Amino acid sequence: MAFTRNGYGQVEPNQLSAQKTGQIYASLPLDTNVKVLQNGEFMYYDYASGKVVADDSTGMAEPMLVFNEIKLYEPFWRTSYKDFAMIRVGDNYVTSQAATAGYGDGAETTGVNASATWTEGGESHTLNGHTEYPYRMDGIAPRLLKTNVGDIYTTNMVKILTGNNVYAVGDTLQPKKNTDTKTLQLEKVTAAQGETLTGMVWVVVKVYTMPDGQPGLKLQRVQ
């Protein structure tokens, strides 16, 4: 089917094992080169470099599924799941373009040379360069899910095809780096004659729709 996407990527979890196994990771800051992170993209939880990145510094890790909790603070008639993404504003983030328009300079913390003063243990402390308390992370932390063979989910966060190219049941997809977004996105791939695909592989098990009616694909991890 011809594939289009309106707004940001969406994930509908059908059977994601991480929700039961606890293989959910959300303690590392996002690479500052990533300006927008969408649900359904993939990233490496690279503990060696201390960041969530699109390039694995170890050469041995596998990418994890981005599935942030959807929080939209604008009136419901203005936003839906397609409007949600983790959008960088300074070293903070907002959750939709509507929020970006109304958030103001409060999110612009990069380059601010401010001092925060607080009292702890009867002593006064000052933290230069931030306007938050010292437990605040330097950056934004996305939520990543470790996927396993057999996992199933529905998404529209795949590479948009043009012309007569379509997605069909049986197509195989792998996460590939998008040089513009600095993230990993699922693309259709085929093995060369006489060879087999290596690494993570997802297969289209149903050409489907998202809850809002947009085109979607139900995928199952097979490798």
Residue 169 placed within a domain:
yes
Write the DSSP symbol of residue 118.
E
Residue 31 placed within a domain:
yes
Q: What is the mean pLDDT of the chain?
A: 84
Transcribe 38-106 into DSSP letters.
-TT-EEEEETTTTEEESS-SSS----EEE-------S-TTT--GGG--EEEETTEEESSHHHHHHHGGG
Nearest to 178 by CA among 33, 30, 4, 69: 33
Residue 23 placed within a domain:
yes
Residue 184 placed within a domain:
yes
Containing structural domain, residue 80: 11-107+115-221
Q: What is the pLDDT of residues 34-46, one digit of tens each?
A: 999 999 999 999 9
pLDDT at residue 93 above 50? yes
pLDDT at residue 109 above 70? no
Name the least confident of 51-55, 117-121, 157-161: 117-121
Residue 175 placed within a domain:
yes
- What's the domain count of the chain? 1
Residue 2 placed within a domain:
no
